[in-house]
Amino acid sequence: MGNVSLIVLMACGIGFCGLAQLVSKLIAPSSKNLQKLQAYECGVPTIGASWIQFNVGYYLFALIFLVFDVELMFLFPWAVVNKEMGITAFIEIVVFIFILFLGLLYAWKKGALKWM
């Protein structure tokens, strides 16, 4: 079908989601009060905001992820022509992966992979 089908799929997702909510809104009973609209936590009014500073551990993992995800993108073109390029490209990729692997070892040694 070609790339038009992408737009159709996206429209399907958005339309389905919107329609389901519209139908629900039309036929579902609705009664709103202050208690109901509170955040669901423990039954009493919540203390403090949820939008606060967060544990740095998550961001360290996100940073390492970024490096390896870019590596993944570089590997895709090589993977397709792997057979034709032969052993030369293979050795180059070994060097490439080895350097990134050293990076992982460095992060490991520095304790970036340790939780808390």
C-alpha dist (Å) from residue 49 to 15, 39, 46, 55, 58: 34, 11, 8, 15, 19
> Which of 73, 68, 51 minimizes the C-alpha distance to 113?
68
Which one, of 88, 63, 69, lies nearest residue 78 by Cα? 88
DSSP summary character for residue 38: S
Q: Could you give the CA distance from residue 10 to residue 99 in angstroms, rounded to a whole number?
A: 40
Q: Binding to another protein (CB under 8 A): which residues in 49-88? A: 49-51, 54-55, 58, 61-62, 64-65, 68-69, 72, 75-76, 79-83, 86-87
Residue of the chain from 92, 99, 101, 110 that contacts another protein (CB under 8 A):
101
Residue 44 or 83: which CB sits closer to another protein?
83
**Applying CB under 8 A, which residues contact another protein?**
1-6, 8-18, 20-21, 23-25, 27-32, 34, 36-41, 46, 49-51, 54-55, 58, 61-62, 64-65, 68-69, 72, 75-76, 79-83, 86-87, 90, 93-94, 97, 101, 104, 108, 113-116
